[in-house]
């Protein structure tokens, strides 16, 4: 398979905004991909060689790529650097520069997908003193043989800036269609019976699957306008609905596998070798992070009690960093993963050490919140303090002493060869104690580990008291957890088995929101030369686009205003809007959705300009935040797809109405 075939798809996908159109392109791409290359194609499309949680970095700075471009094109260095600045993106610059070279170079061997992947793997794995020279050589060899379009995606991949904007769930949708037999036959059947498939087979079938054929009205139209026989239309509808339910089932099966083994390349390879049935072979495995279970929210303890059937476990809700700890070899090996599934073991060697020495067993996966504490007393400190530890390489030793942390454990997902995610909450809690017998609910800086404080309650007033004590102890609220038989760990899901209740709920709008920066406005006066406000969006996970909800200008201090422009320079969209963003407001600069900020507001109102939930609750109006304020917390533990969703905003609007 030629790399240029793959790049043609990337070119088309980049122009698209809608999830459905992207899915169509991906389904088509998988159709033309030989089975043995599916895994490679899925990985390249994600812009990676190995799953993110393995932490394999390309280790290539843009400077090195510019050097390779110089070696290959022989254009003046200044011209190369100017093009990079003008385009604002290494890929687009490489496309133009390699285009200029093409006219002079005669020999080149077409790039295959396999050759590109093999070279990229070597680029990522070379280490040692002369590694930069070898990386340079490998990049130059690829660029020498690449077309301008291939150069665009190659350079983006080596710089780890692929940014096609394809959410993992869209790849999963495409894999579900690809692994549903009978779609081609269904297409033939529809054409044979007079349904036009102008857009191509997959698109048309998918569209019919998604909408048209399911409604009675459409069936009637077909009969009336196209003069079709009633029986034919009925049989078409039945066949379409049958296939649709198989696609849906397949999707759920793949999502379940992905939630416990979030490596799309691996999933695609299993699908290629044995179809959907192979998903059953995916099990929880120490060393491979599971996607986190998330909780819903409610504004009162009595509401929570009612929702959970009158009996709940209330736990302190600690304000720190969520950590998933994977312990193997009887404690000799410990890996810590963040909420974003990054390997953060190097930043918390102290925590890894505590777990390794106190664990009693063969292997296990535990989850907890890593909280900064005052040394000696164990008193909890504000969450922000922990960010001093993140991303450190050099003075980490000093920071460990300066900012001690305690890992407060609240779940056990695997123990001594057995999966625990399907077991009820209380059994999982017992398993934490079994894994680490010397654990107490006291915040003890000596051991560095604690068990989350928990009480089982049947009375809402007692619950309120527990909540107030939690606040007194420095927590941000409580987490209510179902204790029923069905209280399993739902990896990757936000559900009603966990419900959070926070102190914010007592004032203003219930809960803060985590919103994505999609644009920025230049500042004036004291903020001259930097940004004065940001255009913020919620994530519409149904359509896979970001929809605006407020313009955010307050809550920023001088440090933020200094830090944010540096973070945003790399993310500015050259030449205007991003297709993944739905906005009716025009910022001075568009920003690729990436940075998530925590925002508080007075209330949610209807808005004629913001596009969040546009037309959903009211015609020609969306939902917006009134008096939005940055809380000071940059959510670097969240990616754009983990931001507050449009559905959640609609839910919060509903709760606001109820509380009035
Ligand atoms: P979410 O994680 O629901 O997307 P968020 O990241 O904004 O939301 P919160 O709304 O503050 O966080 O609450 C959920 C988080 O609370 C969990 O992801 C976890 O990190 C943390 N947490 C603290 N204590 C507990 C506990 N006892 N049980 C479960 N989670 C807890």
Mean pLDDT of the 23-44 span: 93
Which of 144-153, 180-189, 265-274, 424-433 has the least mean pLDDT? 180-189
Of the pLDDT bands very low, low, confident and very high (cuts 50, 70, 90), residue 44 is very high
Q: Give the Cα separation of 373 and 55 in Å (integer).
A: 28
Structural contact between residues 10 and 200, judged by C-beta atoms closer than 8 angstroms: no
Distance 470 CA to ligand 1 centre (A): 15
Per-residue model confidence (pLDDT) at position 215: 44
Counting from 1 in the atom list of ligand 1, the atom nearest the Cα of 322 is 20
pLDDT surpasses 60 at 96: yes
Distance 535 CA to ligand 1 centre (A): 26
CA angle (195 as vertex; 194, 198 as ends), nearest 5: 120
List phi, psi (to 5°) of 374.
-75, 135
pLDDT surpasses 70 at 451: yes
Instruction: Give tens-digit pLDDT for 115-158.
Output: 999 999 999 999 888 899 999 999 999 999 999 999 999 999 99
555 by Cβ neighbours in 10 Å (0-12 / 13-18 / 19+) ranks as middle
Q: Where does ligand 1 bind, in terms of residues with CB under 6 Å?
A: 292, 294-295, 315-318, 322, 369, 410, 452, 479, 500, 514
Of the pLDDT bands very low, low, confident and very high (cuts 50, 70, 90), residue 214 is very low
List phi, psi (to 5°) of 501.
-140, 115
- How many helices (H) and strands (E) the chain has is answered by 22, 20
pLDDT surpasses 90 at 509: no
Per-residue model confidence (pLDDT) at position 548: 97
Structural contact between residues 159 and 166, judged by C-beta atoms closer than 8 angstroms: no
Per-residue model confidence (pLDDT) at position 481: 98
Dig out the tokens for 219 from the structure: 């069936």
Report the SS3 class of residue 57.
coil
Structural contact between residues 68 and 143, judged by C-beta atoms closer than 8 angstroms: yes
pLDDT surpasses 80 at 217: no
Q: Give the Cα separation of 72 and 397 in Å (integer).
A: 44
Q: Give the Cα separation of 609 and 14 in Å (integer).
A: 26
Per-residue model confidence (pLDDT) at position 389: 76
Q: Give the Cα separation of 600 and 60 in Å (integer).
A: 38
Tally Cβ neighbours within 10 Å of residue 562: 10
Structural contact between residues 641 and 19, judged by C-beta atoms closer than 8 angstroms: no
Counting from 1 in the atom list of ligand 1, the atom nearest the Cα of 498 is 29
Distance 97 CA to ligand 1 centre (A): 47
Structural contact between residues 639 and 323, judged by C-beta atoms closer than 8 angstroms: no
pLDDT surpasses 60 at 31: yes
pLDDT surpasses 70 at 218: no
Average pLDDT, the chain: 88
- Residue 502, beta-bridge partner list: 477
Residue nearest to atom 7 of ligand 1 (CA): 514
pLDDT surpasses 50 at 40: yes
Dig out the tokens for 243 from the structure: 């296939």
> In whole angstroms, how far apart are CA 108 and each of 4, 66, 111, 146?
13, 20, 9, 8
To test the ligand 1 pocket, which listed residue (289, 291, 294, 635) has its Cβ within 8 A of the most ligand atoms? 294
Structural contact between residues 411 and 504, judged by C-beta atoms closer than 8 angstroms: no
More confident: 461 or 529? 461
Per-residue model confidence (pLDDT) at position 504: 67
Cβ-count burial 163-197 (b if 16+ within 10 Å, e if not): bbbbbebbbbbbbbbbbbeebeebbebbeeeebeb
Per-residue model confidence (pLDDT) at position 231: 78
Mean pLDDT of the 82-101 span: 90
Helix residue spans in 226-300 (DSSP H): 230-260, 264-274
135 is catalytic: no
Instruction: Indicate the helix (H) or strand (E) that contains 417.
Output: none
Counting from 1 in the atom list of ligand 1, the atom nearest the Cα of 476 is 11
Dig out the tokens for 93 from the structure: 């610059």
Tell me which residue of 541, 540, 521 sits closest to 591, measured CA to CA: 521
Task: Give the DSSP letter string of 318-341.
Answer: --SEEEEEEEEGGGTEEEEE-TT-
Rounding to the nearest 10 degrees, give the CA dihedral for residues 408, 410, 414, 415: 70
Instruction: Indicate the helix (H) or strand (E) that contains 370.
Output: strand 364-372
Distance 294 CA to ligand 1 centre (A): 7
Counting from 1 in the atom list of ligand 1, the atom nearest the Cα of 514 is 7
Query: 130: Cβ–Cβ under 8 A, 6 or more apart, which residues?
Result: none
Q: How many CA atoms are closer than 13 Å to the CA of 384, on its beta-carbon side?
A: 5
Distance 275 CA to ligand 1 centre (A): 36
Distance 88 CA to ligand 1 centre (A): 37
Per-residue model confidence (pLDDT) at position 453: 97
Counting from 1 in the atom list of ligand 1, the atom nearest the Cα of 454 is 27
Instruction: Indicate the helix (H) or strand (E) that contains 365.
Output: strand 364-372
Structural contact between residues 199 and 191, judged by C-beta atoms closer than 8 angstroms: no
Of the pLDDT bands very low, low, confident and very high (cuts 50, 70, 90), residue 216 is very low
Q: Give the Cα separation of 642 and 514 in Å (integer).
A: 8
Mean pLDDT of the 244-250 span: 89
Among the listed residues 317, 500, 502, 580, the single catalytic one is: 317
To test the ligand 1 pocket, which listed residue (289, 325, 341, 410) has its Cβ within 8 A of the most ligand atoms? 410
Distance 357 CA to ligand 1 centre (A): 27
Per-residue model confidence (pLDDT) at position 603: 85
216 by Cβ neighbours in 10 Å (0-12 / 13-18 / 19+) ranks as exposed
Sign for the CA dihedral angle at 549, 550, 551, 552 comes to negative
Pairing of strands 603-607, 622-626: antiparallel
To test the ligand 1 pocket, which listed residue (366, 487, 498, 500) has its Cβ within 8 A of the most ligand atoms? 500
Instruction: Give tens-digit pLDDT for 164-209.
Output: 889 999 999 999 989 988 877 777 777 777 665 555 555 555 555 5
Residue nearest to atom 11 of ligand 1 (CA): 319
Dig out the tokens for 343 from the structure: 């390997």
Dig out the tokens for 652 from the structure: 């919060």
Report the SS3 class of residue 538.
strand
Cβ-count burial 200-212 (b if 16+ within 10 Å, e if not): ebbbbbbebbeeb
Local structure of residue 35 (DSSP, 8 states): G
608 by Cβ neighbours in 10 Å (0-12 / 13-18 / 19+) ranks as exposed
Of the pLDDT bands very low, low, confident and very high (cuts 50, 70, 90), residue 276 is very high
pLDDT surpasses 90 at 213: no
Per-residue model confidence (pLDDT) at position 170: 93
Sign for the CA dihedral angle at 8, 595, 568, 161 comes to negative
Per-residue model confidence (pLDDT) at position 104: 55
To test the ligand 1 pocket, which listed residue (292, 295, 409) has its Cβ within 8 A of the most ligand atoms? 295
Structural contact between residues 534 and 522, judged by C-beta atoms closer than 8 angstroms: no
pLDDT surpasses 70 at 366: yes
Per-residue model confidence (pLDDT) at position 530: 80
Which of 61-65, 71-75, 101-105, 109-113 has the least mean pLDDT? 101-105
Tell me which residue of 32, 54, 34, 30 sits closest to 42, measured CA to CA: 30
Residue nearest to atom 9 of ligand 1 (CA): 500
pLDDT surpasses 80 at 228: no
Residue nearest to atom 31 of ligand 1 (CA): 317
Residue nearest to atom 19 of ligand 1 (CA): 322
Structural contact between residues 160 and 91, judged by C-beta atoms closer than 8 angstroms: no
Q: Domains in the chain, ordered, with CATH?
A: 3-169 (1.10.3260.10), 294-506 (3.30.470.30), 513-659 (2.40.50.140)
Distance 466 CA to ligand 1 centre (A): 18
Instruction: Give tens-digit pLDDT for 468-494.
Output: 899 888 898 999 999 999 999 999 999
């Amino acid at each position: 398979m030629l790399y240029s075939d793959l790049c043609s798809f990337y070119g088309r996908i980049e122009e698209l905004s809608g999830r459905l159109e992207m899915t169509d392109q991906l389904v088509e791409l998988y159709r033309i991909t030989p089975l043995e290359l599916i895994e490679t194609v899925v990985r390249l499309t994600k812009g990676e060689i190995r799953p993110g949680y393995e932490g394999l970095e390309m280790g290539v700075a843009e400077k090195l790529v510019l050097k390779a471009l110089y070696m290959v094109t022989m254009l003046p260095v200044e011209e190369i650097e100017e093009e990079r600045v003008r385009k604002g993106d290494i890929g687009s610059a490489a496309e133009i520069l390699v285009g200029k070279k093409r006219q002079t170079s005669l020999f080149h061997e077409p790039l295959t997908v396999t050759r590109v992947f093999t070279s990229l793997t070597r680029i990522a794995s070379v280490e040692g003193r002369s590694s930069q020279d070898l990386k340079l050589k490998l990049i130059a060899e690829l660029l020498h043989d690449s077309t301008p379009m291939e150069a665009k995606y190659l350079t983006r991949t080596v710089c780890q800036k692929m940014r096609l904007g394809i959410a993992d769930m869209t790849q999963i949708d495409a894999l579900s269609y690809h692994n549903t037999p009978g779609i081609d036959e269904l297409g033939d059947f529809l054409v044979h019976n007079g349904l036009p498939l102008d857009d191509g087979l997959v698109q048309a079938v998918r569209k019919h699957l998604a909408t048209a054929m399911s409604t009675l009205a459409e069936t009637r139209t077909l009969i009336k306008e196209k003069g079709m026989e009633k029986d034919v239309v009925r049989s078409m509808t039945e066949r379409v609905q049958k296939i649709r339910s198989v696609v849906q089932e397949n999707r759920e099966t793949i999502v379940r596998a992905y939630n416990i083994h979030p490596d799309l390349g691996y999933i695609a390879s299993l699908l290629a070798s044995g179809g959907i049935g192979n998903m059953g072979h995916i099990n929880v495995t120490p060393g491979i992070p599971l996607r986190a279970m998330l909780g819903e929210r409610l504004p009162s303890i009595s509401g929570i009690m009612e929702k959970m059937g009158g009996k709940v476990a209330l736990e302190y809700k600690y304000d720190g960093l969520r950590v998933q700890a994977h312990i193997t070899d009887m404690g000799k090996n410990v890996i810590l993963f963040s909420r974003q599934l990054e390997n953060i073991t190097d930043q918390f060697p102290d925590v890894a050490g505590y777990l390794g020495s106190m664990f009693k067993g063969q292997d296990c996966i535990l989850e907890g919140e890593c909280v900064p504490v005052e040394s000696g007393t164990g008193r909890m400190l504000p969450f922000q303090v922990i960010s001093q530890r993140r991303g450190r390489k050099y003075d980490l030793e000093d920071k460990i002493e300066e900012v001690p942390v305690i890992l407060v454990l609240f779940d056990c997902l695997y123990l001594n060869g057995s999966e625990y995610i399907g077991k009820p909450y209380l059994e999982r809690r017992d398993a934490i104690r079994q894994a680490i017998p010397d654990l107490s609910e006291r915040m003890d800086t000596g051991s560095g580990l604690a068990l989350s404080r928990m009480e089982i309650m049947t009375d809402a007033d007692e619950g309120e008291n527990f909540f107030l004590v939690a606040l007194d102890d420095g927590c941000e609220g409580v987490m209510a957890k179902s204790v029923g038989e069905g209280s399993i760990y739902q990896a990757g899901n936000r559900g009603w088995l966990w419900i959070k209740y926070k102190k914010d709920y007592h004032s203003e709008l219930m809960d803060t929101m985590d919103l994505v920066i999609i644009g920025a406005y230049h500042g004036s006066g004291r903020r001259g030369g930097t940004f004065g406000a940001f255009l913020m969006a919620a994530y519409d996970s149904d359509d896979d686009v970001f929809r605006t909800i407020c313009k955010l200008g307050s809550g920023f201090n001088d440090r933020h205003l200094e830090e944010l422009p540096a973070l945003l320079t790399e993310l500015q969209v050259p030449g205007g809007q991003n297709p993944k963003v739905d906005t009716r407001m025009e910022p001075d600069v568009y920003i690729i959705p990436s940075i998530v900020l925590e925002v508080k507001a007075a209330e949610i109102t209807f808005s004629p300009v913001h596009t969040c939930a546009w037309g959903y609750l009211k015609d020609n109006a969306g939902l917006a935040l009134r008096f939005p304020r940055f809380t000071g917390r940059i959510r670097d533990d969240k990616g754009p797809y983990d931001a507050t969703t449009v559905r959640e905003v609609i839910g919060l609007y509903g709760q606001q109405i109820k509380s009035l």
